[in-house]
Amino acid sequence: MSSIETTTQLQWHEVAQQVLSGNALTREQGLELLQSSDSELLDLLAATFLVRRTYFGRTVQLYYLKNAKSGLCPEDCGYCSQSIVSDAPIEKYTIANERVLMEGAAKAASSQARTYCIVASGRGPTDREVDHVCRVVEKIKADHGLHICACLGLLKPDQAQRLADAGVDRINHNLNTSRRYYEEICTTHTYQDRIDTLEVAQKAGMELCSGLIVGMGETHDDILDTVFELHALNVKSIPVNFLHSIDGTPLEKREDLDPRQCLRILCLLRLVHPATEIRIAGGREVNLRSMQAMGLYAANSIFVSDYLTTKGQSAEDDFSMIEDLGFEVIIGGHEMAS
Ligand code: SF4
């Protein structure tokens, strides 16, 4: 082994020790991490796993996602197959009725997911949609006791309060990218609109789930801005989406990522947010490909089954992957692993 490789190994191990002793990863270290070489990748992953293991052991949290309202969205988010500017041939429907949402909850429970994510397309919900979701959430809580995360777009304060009062535990609203790059991917609402909704949800007493999408043409600095902004917002859960470019969307045919860079990005998230749940979210299968299991050395959560408008690998394959790693799914209960 060359002396350079020895020095590098020591460096990532030292960075992990620094993080474990309570000294956060600096922005400069984050940039170095994103630019690190392929030959350092296993050392970086091993060091990152020390941090992951300290806070989450070998546990994996599963999330099950229901697209409760699909397409028909007036917004122009460039990555999204449901936007008004997308020609992608997706299923389009208005808000799902109680039966469909309850079936999704039963599927979440039988898939060993602790959290049921109810996701609706659109700029934000109508008051009637909020009332509908509130009624169904009360039933889901009574029947299945699942943790509920709602992703309904931009929220007004009174809507957020009604959702919190009905038992919604968490609101998902992703930053997606940096403030600087935001207008390159969406012009119909602003980055600040997204921050405002997160603040409204937090004031109503709900936890925040917010993450990013990488692979949209952003720079390393944009990724770092987003990752550190999420830290300032004190989010409890971070979904890391890897762009799955869909034909018919403005970002079709974009393939900026390779599996090794995806792993580096997951390591960055873990080292900046040591005790926060990090989820490998949309685009896991198509971007990490044969290396997706390795992502769980940094992240501690995945979606089981499908995404909003794209298929994921089967739940059986997810369970096999977790078992092959020697990791275990957290079943039942709502408390975070520590
Ligand atoms: S991400 Fe949400 S707001 Fe943006 S286009 Fe898709 S459904 Fe609409």
Q: What is the distance in A from the centroid of ligand 1 to the CA of 79? A: 9
Q: Which of 12-16, 274-278, 331-335 has the lowest mean pLDDT?
A: 331-335
Q: How high is the pLDDT of residue 337?
A: 35
- 309 — pLDDT class (breaks 50, 70, 90): low
Is residue 287 predicted with pLDDT exceeding 80? yes
Report the percentage of the chain scoring pLDDT > 70: 94
For ligand 1, mutation pick of 73, 95, 174 (most atoms within 8 Å of CB): 73
**pLDDT at 264 exceeding the cut of 50:** yes
- Phi, psi values for residue 176, rounded to 5°: 75, -55
Which of 73, 134, 151, 267 is labelled catalytic? 73
Extended strands (E) in 121-209: 147-151, 170-172, 207-209
The yes-or-no verdict on residue 75 having pLDDT over 60 is: yes
Q: How far is the CA of 77 from the centre of ligand 1 (A)?
A: 6
| pLDDT tens-digit readout, 98-123 | 999 999 999 999 888 989 999 999 99
Q: Rounded to the nearest 5 degrees, what angle is found at the Cα of 141, between the Cα atoms of 238 and 333?
A: 60
pLDDT at 112: 85
pLDDT in tens, 229-261: 999 999 999 999 999 988 899 989 898 999 999
Q: Is 117 annotated as a binding residue?
A: yes
pLDDT of res. 308: 67
* Active-site residue, selected from the candidate residues 80, 186, 262, 267: 80
With a 6 A CB cut-off, is 246 part of the ligand 1 pocket?
Answer: no
Q: Is 180 assigned a catalytic role?
A: no
Contact 308, 82 (CB under 8 A): yes
Q: Is 80 in the pocket of ligand 1 (CB under 6 A)?
A: yes
Which of 52, 77, 151, 284 is the catalytic position? 77
* Residue 117 a catalytic site member: yes
Residue 336 reports pLDDT greater than 80: no
Determine the average pLDDT of the residues in 27-34: 96
Ligand 1 centroid to residue 161 C-alpha, Å: 22
Of 88-92, 298-302, 304-308, minimum mean pLDDT range: 304-308
What token pair was written down for 331?
A: 């079943």
Residue bearing the bigger pLDDT, 142 or 333: 142
Calculate how far, in angstroms, residue 321's C-alpha sits from the geometric centre of ligand 1: 31
- Domains of the chain plus CATH, in order, are 49-329 (3.20.20.70)
Reply yes or no on whether the pLDDT at 59 is more than 70. Answer: yes
Q: Does the Cβ of 282 fall within 6 Å of ligand 1?
A: no
Per residue in 176-229, pLDDT (tens digit) is 999 999 999 999 999 999 999 999 999 999 999 999 999 999 999 999 999 999
Q: How far is CA 31 from CA 27, 28, 265, in A?
A: 6, 5, 10
What is the reported pLDDT for 120? 92
> Is the shortest distance between the CB of 83 and ligand 1 below 6 Å?
yes
Tell me what percent of the residues of the chain surpass a pLDDT of 90.
78
Q: What is the model's pLDDT at position 333?
A: 45
Are 160 and 130 contacting, i.e. CB atoms less than 8 angstroms apart?
A: no
For the chain, what is the largest distance between any 2 Cα atoms, rounded to a whole number of angstroms?
65
Residue 134 marked ligand-binding: no
Q: Report which DSSP code applies to 176.
A: B
Pocket test for ligand 1, best of 82, 92, 174, 216 (most atoms within 8 A of CB): 82
The ligand 1 atom nearest the CA atom of 83: 5
Any catalytic annotation for residue 73?
yes
Taking the centre of ligand 1 as the mean of its atom positions, its distance from the CA of residue 78, in whole angstroms, is 9
186 belongs to an annotated ligand binding site? no
Q: Is 121 in the pocket of ligand 1 (CB under 6 A)?
A: yes
For ligand 1, whether the C-beta of 239 sits within 6 Å is no
Beta bridge partners of 171: 150, 208
The torsion region of residue 252 among left (phi > 0), alpha (psi -120 to 50) and beta comes to beta
Question: What pLDDT score was predicted for residue 307?
Answer: 66
Ligand 1 pocket check: which of 65, 69, 83 to mutate, most ligand atoms within 8 Å of Cβ?
83
Identify the pLDDT of residue 89. Answer: 85
Distance 53 CA to ligand 1 centre (A): 35
Encode 224-241: b = buried (16+ Cβ within 10 Å), e = exposed: bbbbbbbeeeebbbbbbb
267 catalytic? Reply is: no
